Structure formats: structure tokens, C-alpha cells
Amino acid sequence: MFKGPLSESILKIAQGKGLVTIGVHDLRDWTDDAHRTADDKPFGGGPGMVMKVEPVYRALKSIKAESAKAKIILLTPQGKRLDQKMVKRLSEEKAFIFICGHYEGLDERVSRLVDQEISIGDYILTGGELPACVLIDAMVRLIPGVLGRERSLDTESFEEDLLEYPHYTRPRVFRGMKVPPVLLSGNHKRIAGWRKQEAIKRTRVRRPDLLGRLPSVDYRRVTGWRKREAVKSVNMRRPGPLTGLRKK
């Protein structure tokens, strides 16, 4: 499950540049029986299987011996919900160990072995592998030198508690839909102002919960925008393993 996401696109480039090292470990390598059993039936009964604490403990002990300062993260629905501010804080760390749950989950005692529990949203997945990939991707792209244009990070969605402004490219007109004239003006100051206002408008329609974090001066600048713009915008938009990450 990790092979595709961790070996393509930006993550592939980052590893190729030697900016980050990513390793995947199988918890079965730290089991102590002939069947390499990493899970068992839950005490008290119930459906499914629960991942055992002993293999997780042995794996962490072994990996930490090589990377003593690695921050241990458990991907779980019970964790704090991931957002861009958390990603930025985590990206300042040097190394991580991600524990990915599976089946019915992990023995509760695993939570006492970790530094932080993180959830990527209020929905259910088969395991923690995909959340780990999401978190790794979000952090790696913030490492200096990974992206071609570092300045582009400053204008992405959530960087200023705003959604990103609209983007356009050729052709100028497509089936009657035109590129806003300001983007063709060559006036960089006007373009920057338009983009900021459009980001606020878009956030107001699609993620109004973010607006409370904005400076009031920015919000007042767009309080008079036309209602039909909001309606138009809404209508257009609503038709079992361990993973290690280490920065170089």
C-alpha cells in the first residue's frame, strides 16, 4: 500500500534529492511465534482482531535505537485532527515513526508508547497506512528545496486560514467562460489584491468557519460582494505497518 504513494511525484523527488529518507517496517518482524502473529482476539469479546502491543513495543525499541529523537505518531480516529498549522509544526522535527493501526485497532496500551495521536478526519479507513501517507506528503513538501518554487507555499489553501484563490490558464475564453481581465492586465499589485479578495470570498462561501481567524480589515473589504457570486460559486462546486520518515 505504501509503494505507490511514497515512490511517486514530490515524494520521489525529495528522496532522489536526498532531502528525506522513508522506510517501511513490517510489525511481523518483531513477533515471537512461528506464525508471526501480530494480532489477536479482543478481551471481552467482539468482532474483528486487535493488534498486539508486544510487536509494536519491540519495533519501537529497535527503531529508536537507530533514531533516538524520532517523534512517535499514532494514526488513529481518536487523535487530534490534522490541519496545516499542525503540519507546519511537525515539519520542524527531524525524524518520525508512524504507527499504522489495522483491523479493529491497536491494543490501548500502545497509546502509552507514543508522543502524539493524529487523525486526518472524521471518517473510517481500513487502516492507518493512507493517513500516514497523507501526513508524510503534507510535511515533506514543506522541506526547503523539495518544491521548485518555495514562494508558492505562501499562497496555498490554509496557509493564511484562507482557501486558495482561483487559477486560470489558456485559453482566455472557453465556452463563453472568460479569464478575469485583471489577470491579463500585467499589473502585479492589482493581481495580488484581486487574488487576496477572491481567496476571502471563496473561504466565506465554502469554509466560513475559517473566517473568524482572519484580521477584521480583510473581512470588511469583501462584505459588500454580490450575493449572486456566492450562489454561482456554490452551484459550480456542488453538482498494519510502521513507517519512518527522516529529513536529511
Distance CA 219, CA 203 (A): 10
Name the strand (E) or helix (H) holding 54: helix 53-66
Helices (H), 105-180: 129-140
Hey, what's the cell of 45?
469479546
Predicted TM-score (pTM) of the model is 0.80
207, burial (CB in 10 Å: exposed 0-12, middle 13-18, buried 19+): middle
Residue boundaries of the structural domains of the chain? 3-147+241-247, 150-237
Task: Give the model's pLDDT for residue 180.
Answer: 97
Query: Does domain 150-237 bear CATH number 1.10.1270.20?
Result: yes
Distance CA 19, CA 100 (A): 24
Task: Give the model's pLDDT for residue 153.
Answer: 58
Topology match between the domains 3-147+241-247 and 150-237: no
Q: Is the separation of the CB atoms in 69 and 246 below 8 Å?
A: no
Task: Give the model's pLDDT for residue 156.
Answer: 64
CATH architecture of residue range(s) 3-147+241-247: 3-Layer(aba) Sandwich (3.40)
Task: Give the model's pLDDT for residue 170.
Answer: 95
Chunked in runs of 10, what are the mean pLDDT values of the chain (248 residues)?
91 96 96 96 93 97 95 96 96 97 90 98 93 97 85 61 93 97 97 95 93 57 41 42 74
Q: Is the separation of the CB atoms in 71 and 116 below 8 Å?
A: yes
